[in-house]
Structures are given as C-alpha cells and as structure tokens.
Amino acid sequence: MVHVTCQSYIGGYYSRGEAMRARNDAPVDTRGGGYTTDDGYQFELTGGSLCLDFANTLDSRPTEAPRELLSDYRHLVDWAMQAEALSPAVTRRLLASAASEPARARVVLGRARALRESVFQVFSAHARGARIPQGALDALNRAVSGALARLRLAKDSDGFRWEWKEDQALDRMLWSVARSAGELLTSDRLGQVRVCAAPDCDWLFLDTSRNGSRRWCDMRVCGNRSKVRRYRAARR
C-alpha cells in the first residue's frame, strides 16, 4: 500500500520512501513517526531507541551523496517532537526562542550533528564488532556528563520522577539523546543493535525479533529494494 498525498513533497522535502521511489522505481512505502511537521516531513522512527533514531537522521550515509535530514534547527525540533523527546508545548517555546536567537540555534544544530556522529560511530562499531573510536566515545561522554548535570528529582502526587532543569534550553533534546545513548550502551539490549544490511543504508536499529534475524532498518524500504534487486538479477 503506497501513500502519496499532497503532503509528501512540501518545503523541499521528500520523505525517504518517496525519494527512493523517485530514484529507482522500487515499490516502497513511506514510513513515518507519530506526527507530520508543518512542512510535511515525517521522520522514520524505526530504530527502536531514541539515540538510534537520532543517528538515523542522516540518510544514505555510505553513499557519495548522504542526505541531511536536519538541515536547520527547526528540523531538529521537529524530529524531537515526533520522537516524543519534546512535548508540543516545549516544542512551540523552543521554536519561538530559536526565531529570536537564530545564531545560537545554528550553533546547537552543529552540536547536534556532531553528537549524532559520535552516537553513530560508537554503536555502529560495536554492532560490526569493530574497535570503538576513542574520540567518538570521549565526545559522547562529554554529552552524557552535560546531560546528567541537568537531571533533577521532582515530587509527583504518588512518588518522584526525573525531570530536566532548564527545560527551555535550545539544546534540550540533545540531553535526552545523550541519556538514551548512555542507557542503551550499558543495557543488555546493546547486543541487539544492528546496522542495516543494505549497501547504501547504515541506519541503526534494535533487532528484537525472536531469532535475532532482522537485517533491514525497514523491510518496506531497504528489504523491499533488496528483493527487487534480487528479482532483477535473477531475470538477467
């Protein structure tokens, strides 16, 4: 089932499924998170963990033309809202702050992309059984320290909860990403982290299948393309 709506190309974006369909005619589907942004883009949240979904905001990384899905601060906020790392109310406040402080928002966007690469390098190296790049782990550690310094305990009606101090900071969503990365790295789910098997995709995901045999970030996109390739090769 293919969903094509007037929303699928707005504001210079194709969704990933649309872009792939435009590229190679494969019968792929669009994928999406829980919400559509104002300019019509839905991030594809197939990683199974916030930090892995964040690593997946650079598409086609192993190709000569990786596609940047965070091309301005607004997209970073949109991603965080779709991934439920920000509430709609905080999202609106961050966008208003970014509009009045565009230079600071650009700095945060640069830091977000750097954190994304650290997350990707550490998890992909582990998933591939390769040596963990020390520089990436150091950078991730700095982000984790900064994030945890912002955590505090708050009283609930029937107990306590973690909450973030300075909830309105422009880099607020990066604290959630860093915390998610730290928690996943130290959990027994780390062994489930995989890199997509498609040659032009290295999205990360948690393989929670019973026999640990999931190969694709999304069967409907990368898995389907692989099937089409095998079908064409068999007909040659």
217 contributes a contact to Zn ion by CB under 5 A: yes
Q: Where are the alpha helices (DSSP H) in the chain?
A: 16-24, 50-55, 73-82, 88-100, 102-128, 134-148, 172-185, 224-235
Asked whether position 198 contacts Zn ion by CB under 5 A, the answer is yes
80 binds Zn ion (CB under 5 A): no
Q: Does 83 bind Zn ion (CB under 5 A)?
A: no
For Zn ion, the closer of residues 46 and 82 by Cβ is 46
196 near Zn ion, rule: CB under 5 A: yes
Among residues 43, 193, 222, 226, which is the contact residue for Zn ion, using CB under 5 A?
222
Please report, as a single letter, which amino acid is at residue 226: S
* Amino acid symbol at 28: V
User: At closest approach, how far in Å is the CB of 27 from Zn ion?
Assistant: 16
- Single out the residue of 119, 201, 204, 206 in contact with Zn ion (rule: CB under 5 A): 201
Q: Is 58 in the site for Zn ion (CB under 5 A)?
A: no
Residue 162 phi/psi, 5-degree rounding, is -80, 140
Least distance to Zn ion, CB of residue 54, Å: 16
Distance CA 125, CA 34 (A): 29
Q: How far apart are CA 200 and CA 177, in angstroms?
A: 25
Q: How far is the CB of 44 from Zn ion (least distance, A)?
A: 10
Q: Which of 73, 120, 175, 203 binds Zn ion (CB under 5 A)?
A: 203
Rounded Cα distance, 76 and 82, in Å: 10
d(CA 174, CA 171): 5
Half-sphere exposure of 143 (CA within 13 A, CB side): 29
- CB of residue 77 to Zn ion, shortest distance in Å: 25
State whether the Cα torsion 16-8-3-205 is positive or negative: positive
Contacts with Zn ion by CB under 5 A: the residue count is: 6
- Which of 2-10, 64-72, 101-109, 221-229 is the region at the interface with Zn ion (rule: CB under 5 A)? 221-229
Stretch that binds Zn ion, among 15-23, 160-168, 175-183, 199-207 (CB under 5 A): 199-207
CA 210 – CA 213 distance, rounded (Å): 8
Q: Does residue 20 interact with Zn ion by CB under 5 A?
A: no
Binding characters for Zn ion, 142-181, by CB under 5 A (x = yes): ----------------------------------------
Round to whole Å and give the CA distance between 108 and 113: 9
Binding site for Zn ion (CB under 5 A): 196, 198, 201, 203, 217, 222
